[in-house]
Structure 1
Amino acid sequence: MTKDRSTSADGGPASGLRRVALPLFLVALGARIVWILAGQHNFNFVDLRVYYEAAQRVTADGGLYDFALRDYTPQQPLPFTYPPFAALFFYPLKFLPFPVVAVGWVALTAGLLFLVIRMCLAILAAGRGAPSRLGDVPRELPLVWTAAALWIDPVRTNLDYGQINVVLMTFGVWAAYLVARAAPSPSLALKPEKVDGASGFLVGLAAGIKLTPAVGGLFLLARGRVWAAVFSGVTFAATVGISYLILPAETRRYFTILLGDTGPIGDPAKPDNQALRGAVSRFAGHDVGTGPAWIIAVLVAAALLFAAWWVVRRGDALIALVLVQFLGLLASPISWIHHFVWIVPLLIWVVHGPLGPGGGADFRSPGAGFTPWATAVAGVTAVFGYIGVHFLRKGLAAIGIDDGPVWALFMAPGVLAPMVLVALILAQRRRLDALV
């Protein structure tokens, strides 16, 4: 019988991966820290400082929504724009010196990114009826993925600014992991009725911190977890209630006045805004607001994402989660580059999902089938992920392209990436249907 070199301990691919995974991760993380220290942001973590200041104001006389951080971005002061519950979530930070918070935040972000990737791989395994505990996923492959993902632009900017999006993504993927392991299969240990509360709580908690993750409720409904979706709504309502008990004036102010006001957040037409409103506005040459052009764009995107979900509805939970989260990002008035950390689960599905070798989820043989569509997804992701909008914008300006439809197209990779994914799914619908 031929020896399986993929799992051999004497120099096969799996053995090589074991040897390089941890050093590669440590080198990538160390290089990212050096980048932060030496780069233009110089370890200032502007968004984390806003969270930190909000934590100080939970019990202070100053209003939660009356301050704006100006020390590091005087040309664009940064106010606190999250629901009041987010300030309560960040409250423990006030008891630590900011340098400790900053170092801990980098470590937390990197650690949670590793956990997210490992859970994504476990979700894919569950979709195939394979053992799907986290311990069933060898840690070497998630380490390699994490090393690469640390340099993808949305993750890179999360680390530079001290953003919370990787934390929120962890809640969403964790909920999906619980749902996936509750699917009927003799190899799965979790009973469906025991995961509805936990998965709903995670989605509702994320929505309480930042409203956009509430779209995760659609994922729960798409997977038939109705009670989980209900519990997510109950949990979100509880976060509002807790906020009202502790910060009544600020809670009323946020939900009756500030909610929906994009003015304090920034210009929706900026290239940093990768939502549909930003993309359409750049094509139009002005902010289209929430008028007919934006409504049509959202409806078209929703229809395409729904069509893709319909093809894979009987498949794994990961792609359903990715499609739903991108719907939330695209439909939101403003989704900055650092909100698009969901590009990482997208890549995991493309490489290790059902379109990969042998139906996917083979941790010993990473690599998509290198079909034209998979290559297109990888290409768009490379532009979006590793070049980044800021560097791409400078490159286009250097050759005289700083306006017009071509510029607007290149400034919309956050829209292009999920649309190419949709095209991949629709083009491969027969193969996908045969695999589920």
Structure 2
Amino acid sequence: MAGSSPGRPPRRRRPPLRGATSPAGVRLSGAPLLPRASASRDGTPHTRWHVHRAPSRVPPPVSVKARLFCIARSTDPGAASGGLGCGRVRAEGAGAADERRRVEQGTGAASGADPVGAALDRGRRCVAWLTGHADWVFAGSLALHVLVLAVHPPTPLDLRVYREGAPHVLTGGLYDYALHTKPPIPVLPFTYPPFAALLFLPLSPLPWTVLLALWQMLSIAALVVLAAGALGLLTPRPGGRTRDLALLWAAAGLWTAPVRHTLDQGQVNLLLGAAVLGGLALCRGAAARGTAVGLASSVKLTPAVAGLYLLVTRQWRAAVWAVGTGIATVVLAWCVAPHESVRYWTELVVDTHRVGPVWTMRNQSLRGALTRLLGPDVIASPLWWAALAGVTLVAAWALCSCVRRSDALGALVAVELYGLLMCPISWGHHWIWCVPAMIWLAHGPGRGYTLSRVTLALWALVTVTRLVPRLTGVEDGLSRHDPYPALLAWPGTVYAVCAVLTLLALARAAGGRRRLAVPAA
């Protein structure tokens, strides 16, 4: 052949790279021709060209439920269908792409057919966006809080009692001191153990403005620790996600009535709650966990109910450390102020009249709610004992259910809510445990139940709208000689009702039967 050398195969012209034709005569428009090494019959290497055909693999259709799950998790929807790339519109058909756009926008046929699902979808996407911008959300909430403080300065009466009453522990007149205020609580005495006065001694020399700013910062930091501890007890999460959720819950919890009441009054509840929850969730050793609970109980008796949590979860060493820490603080206070220690532990510790009236709306315990409904002699009423037995059974049911399914946060919330219900006086600012309760209702094993959703919505409605403080303002305008109005008494049971509903949700949540996991000693 002309132009070819003897003994060598004829030179083949290179075909075009585009517009090739298949053996069947079908035009392969756009299919590239790729080289493939080959050899002739005599062993001489040469190059053949073949058409590279992309695999015609069509991903399976992705359901609307899977896409909503992907959107709520803020991940690529392809991960929900085995990694086939369902998040890429180009890999779907035209109809599937249109359907996906309708699902993401919350409009179209799917949304019209299921408005509740569309609303939940929008809520999940909103929460996912807020979680992704948790730093800015928390900063905005904090800035708004500072603005409210500047426009409406608080009157932290309890902080004044801590600051002015603490020095009297050294002079022997700690429980004779009282801050005079207006009715229905005309005087505010120092009602904490002597050890608390020793801890409050460093507050006395500080200027009042500096003390206010410092107390606000410490309380808000304690709120973040409270939320982080609740999430840590709930279930192990990635560090970044736990941090973002903690900031988001702290930003929202900043506007609940118990937290705002604590900040306005300069109360110590957030610090004690952070000590208990942070110690139980973040401390690994039994000594640290028990010491945290013991110190919190030495400042105020209400956190002592956390010792029941240590017992039901079989943290024996931590429970021993908690008891030992409490005894050590009592001995230390007795060495510094023996007269005040004897007077408190033998006389004042059971005197509820010194703390305040039981019937007032400010008292949100079970006894306070029934007193407003049935009268001041409610303890002698069979209804009181029936309610007491019923709440105790529900709390025991909830606690056993939490231990059986290894729900640490649920067990602690059940113990704390039961303590608030059974305490003779539980002021509104004591109910900061509504924040961990709402965290469990939103993220715990019972989050899919209707009861949990309704209880979460009720907690949010009652606390964000500050219903109890508003009812307290109405109560202050009533005459003390008239019977307590039923129209005011029934709404005043909201915290007790929410607590009982939360206990029922804790009891009914599903879960496997396994041993409760606790941090190693």
Indicate the TM-score class for this superposition, using the shorter chain for normalisation: 0.7 to 0.9
What residue number does 1:214 align with?
304
Give me the TM-score of the superposition, normalised by structure 1.
Answer: 0.82
What residue number does 1:158 align with?
262
The secondary structure found in structure 1 opposite 2:272 is helix
- Count residues with an aligned counterpart: 395
Higher helix share: 1
What residue number does 2:459 align with?
381
Choose which of 140, 162, 171 in structure 2 pairs with 1:51. 162
Question: CA offset at residue 433 of structure 1?
Answer: 4.1
What residue number does 2:313 align with?
223
* 1:186-210 deviation digits (Å, cap 9, x = unpaired): xxxx5xxxx2211111111111101
Determine if the alignment matches structure 1 residue 423 to structure 2 residue 504: yes
Determine if the alignment matches structure 1 residue 268 to structure 2 residue 358: yes
Choose which of 387, 409, 434 in structure 1 pairs with 2:490. 409
Moved more, 73-82 or 266-275: 73-82
Determine if the alignment matches structure 1 residue 84 to structure 2 residue 223: no
Choose which of 134, 143, 154 in structure 2 pairs with 1:30. 143
Question: CA offset at residue 310 of structure 1?
Answer: 1.4
Distance (Å, rounded) in 2 between the aligned partners of 1:162 and 1:32: 15
8 A Cα contact 2:294 2:304, kept in partner: yes
Determine if the alignment matches structure 1 residue 21 to structure 2 residue 134: yes
Distance (Å, rounded) in 2 between the aligned partners of 1:256 and 1:290: 25
The root-mean-square deviation of aligned C-alpha atoms, in Å, is 3.1
Question: CA offset at residue 405 of structure 1?
Answer: 4.8
Are the structure 2 counterparts of residues 14 and 204 from structure 1 closer, same or farther at C-alpha, using a change threshold of 3 Å? Answer: same
What residue number does 1:323 align with?
414
For 1:139-158, what aligned pairs fall within 5 Å after superposition? 139-158=243-262
Distance (Å, rounded) in 1 between the aligned partners of 2:326 and 2:308: 14
8 A Cα contact 2:181 2:188, kept in partner: no
Are the structure 2 counterparts of residues 321 and 290 from structure 1 closer, same or farther at C-alpha, using a change threshold of 3 Å? Answer: farther
What residue number does 1:185 align with?
none
What residue number does 1:177 align with?
281
What residue number does 2:429 align with?
338
Are the structure 2 counterparts of residues 124 and 405 from structure 1 closer, same or farther at C-alpha, using a change threshold of 3 Å? Answer: same
Distance (Å, rounded) in 2 between the aligned partners of 1:177 and 1:101: 29
The secondary structure found in structure 1 opposite 2:378 is coil
Determine if the alignment matches structure 1 residue 390 to structure 2 residue 503: no
Letter matched to residue 430 of structure 2: H
Are the structure 2 counterparts of residues 37 and 296 from structure 1 closer, same or farther at C-alpha, using a change threshold of 3 Å? Answer: farther
The secondary structure found in structure 2 opposite 1:69 is strand
What residue number does 1:280 align with?
370
Distance (Å, rounded) in 2 between the aligned partners of 1:293 and 1:242: 43
Question: CA offset at residue 287 of structure 1?
Answer: 4.9
Distance (Å, rounded) in 1 between the aligned partners of 2:388 and 2:395: 10
8 A Cα contact 2:231 2:242, kept in partner: no
Are the structure 2 counterparts of residues 152 and 287 from structure 1 closer, same or farther at C-alpha, using a change threshold of 3 Å? Answer: farther
The secondary structure found in structure 2 opposite 1:306 is helix
8 A Cα contact 2:232 2:242, kept in partner: no
* 1:25-70 deviation digits (Å, cap 9, x = unpaired): 222223223334433xx332110111111233233x3611111112
Distance (Å, rounded) in 2 between the aligned partners of 1:328 and 1:433: 27
Distance (Å, rounded) in 2 between the aligned partners of 1:44 and 1:14: 34
Distance (Å, rounded) in 1 between the aligned partners of 2:127 and 2:383: 51
Aligned-pair identity in percent equals: 35
Question: CA offset at residue 137 of structure 1?
Answer: 4.2
8 A Cα contact 2:410 2:506, kept in partner: no
Are the structure 2 counterparts of residues 13 and 152 from structure 1 closer, same or farther at C-alpha, using a change threshold of 3 Å? Answer: closer
Question: CA offset at residue 124 of structure 1?
Answer: 1.6
The secondary structure found in structure 2 opposite 1:236 is helix
Determine if the alignment matches structure 1 residue 312 to structure 2 residue 312: no
Letter matched to residue 337 of structure 1: G
Question: CA offset at residue 333 of structure 1?
Answer: 0.9
Larger radius of gyration: 2
**Runs of 5+ consecutive residues of structure 1 not aligned to the other structure:** 180-189, 357-368
Are the structure 2 counterparts of residues 137 and 223 from structure 1 closer, same or farther at C-alpha, using a change threshold of 3 Å? Answer: farther
Letter matched to residue 27 of structure 1: G
Letter matched to residue 299 of structure 1: A
Choose which of 325, 328, 336 in structure 2 pairs with 1:246. 336
**Runs of 5+ consecutive residues of structure 2 not aligned to the other structure:** 1-58, 77-124, 478-482, 516-521
Question: CA offset at residue 19 of structure 1?
Answer: 5.9
8 A Cα contact 2:130 2:137, kept in partner: no
Distance (Å, rounded) in 1 between the aligned partners of 2:209 and 2:514: 50
The secondary structure found in structure 2 opposite 1:139 is helix
Are the structure 2 counterparts of residues 274 and 18 from structure 1 closer, same or farther at C-alpha, using a change threshold of 3 Å? Answer: closer
Question: CA offset at residue 231 of structure 1?
Answer: 1.7
